[in-house]
Amino acid sequence: MESQCQMLPNIPYVAAVYVSLWGPGGRNPLASTRQKLQELFTRVEGNSLSCHMHLLLFTEFISDRALAALVPINALRNAALLLAKTPFASMIDVDFSPSYSFHLILQNSTRLLRPFLPYQ
């Protein structure tokens, strides 16, 4: 997420993070996940050449280990999309990384997008 943010300076960025908690008496990674996300947010927000990050943390308790491996990807994407405050949004999974030229194209494409923007 941090490298994605660095490639999208001053762009709004919403990330939905999912942690499944399974099993009786199992290890609970929620506290360490929250701490790591807070550290990430602090680093990103402290860097003026980075994105404007919004983080969402979702979790659920699951008793079946096989079910714990399933991630509700569409629900996470939809939740992140609800926080998008721009006319356009791009859904980029964490394992993808947009090229810097993609950001340049977006910056310089206002005239191309003008027909699709709401009237001001």
Q: Kindly write down the DSSP assignment for every residue of 44-108, as one continuous string.
A: HHT-TTS-EEEEEEEEEEES-HHHHT---HHHHHHHHHHT--SS------TT----HHHHHHHHT
Break the chain into its structural domains and give their ranges: 2-116
- Cα 74–Cα 77–Cα 2 angle in degrees, nearest 5: 135
Rounded Cα distance, 46 and 39, in Å: 11
Task: Considering only residues 84 and 103, tell me which one the structure prediction assigns the higher pLDDT.
Answer: 84
Task: Say whether 13 sits in a helix, a strand or coil.
Answer: strand
Element (H, E) at 110: helix 110-113
Residue of higher predicted confidence among 91 and 42: 42
pLDDT tens digit sequence for 35-63 = 999 999 999 999 988 888 999 999 988 88
Beta partners for residue 14, in sequence order: 54
Q: Say if pTM beats, i.e. exceeds, 0.85.
A: no
Which DSSP symbol is given to 114? G
> What average pLDDT does this structure show over 105-114?
67
Return d(Cα 22, Cα 10) in angstroms, integer.
Answer: 37
